[in-house]
Amino acid sequence: MDAEPQTTKGRTPQEMAELVRAHSDELVRYALCLVGEVNAAEEAVLDAMAVYVTRPFGKAPPITYLWRMVRSRCMDYLRHHQRHTSLDEADYVSMPEDVESDAIQAERKRVLYRCIRSLPTDYGNALYLRYLEDFSIEETARIMRKSVKQVYNLLARAKVALKNALQKEGFDYDDL
């Protein structure tokens, strides 16, 4: 009977590989939006994942704990480097089928990210986690270390601020 090799605290290499495969891209994208540098974002994610997988195996913490650890490491990086970046422009344009419509979509996304970046940090983070990464209100609250009520309030204020910023840019809020 061949036993599968175990790593620290009882996790198998396959379990760790599955964790990395399932969450690394979105975590790096989130960290990149916070710190604005790819190397720092990847370092924050790797550091958080290393701590996450070495937690005692009995009761694995929820995945929101991993997101919160990444956010914490990004905030530490920003404090250390005294930088004030929130969301970075991410280019999510797919392979163009219609160049003109793709260019319009890309411009709309750039405007949207620029407007989100111009909002206060908590507003931008709440919008990013809730609507771009599709976390629930409760998960967003846990990641941001806020109460559910605070997240609702942040989102309501952020939507109003984003709507005003988009209208100043000449875009209709409903079109995006």
pLDDT digits (tens, 9 = 90+) for 29-84: 888 888 878 888 888 888 888 777 777 655 656 778 888 888 888 888 888 876 44
Of the pLDDT bands very low, low, confident and very high (cuts 50, 70, 90), residue 7 is: very low
Indicate whether 65 belongs to any domain.
yes
Task: Report whether 51 contacts 69 (CB < 8 A).
Answer: yes
Interatomic CA distance for residues 41 and 78, integer angstroms: 11
Indicate whether 3 belongs to any domain.
no
Whether residue 9 has pLDDT greater than 60: no
How does 134-162 read in b/e, with b if 16+ C-beta sit within 10 Å?
ebeeebbbbbbebeeeebeebbeebeebb
Look up residue 173 and give its amino acid.
Answer: Y
Q: How many CB atoms lie within 10 A of CB 2?
A: 4
Residues contacting 126, CB < 8 A, separation 6+: 140, 144, 151, 154, 155, 158
Whether residue 112 has pLDDT greater than 50: yes
Are 76 and 107 in a shared domain?
no
Q: How many CB atoms lie within 10 A of CB 35?
A: 23
Whether residue 85 has pLDDT greater than 50: no
Indicate whether 86 belongs to any domain.
no
Indicate whether 60 belongs to any domain.
yes
List Cα–Cα distances, 60 to 2, 75, 97, 160, in angstroms.
25, 24, 44, 38
- For the residues 5-22, what does the mean pLDDT come to? 67
Indicate whether 94 belongs to any domain.
no
Domains contained in the chain, number: 2
Q: 134: domain range?
A: 99-175
CATH of the domain at 168: 1.10.10.10
| % of the chain exceeding 90 in pLDDT | 14
Interatomic CA distance for residues 91 and 109, integer angstroms: 8
Indicate whether 43 belongs to any domain.
yes
Q: Which of 81, 71, 73 is nearest to 135 (CA)?
A: 71
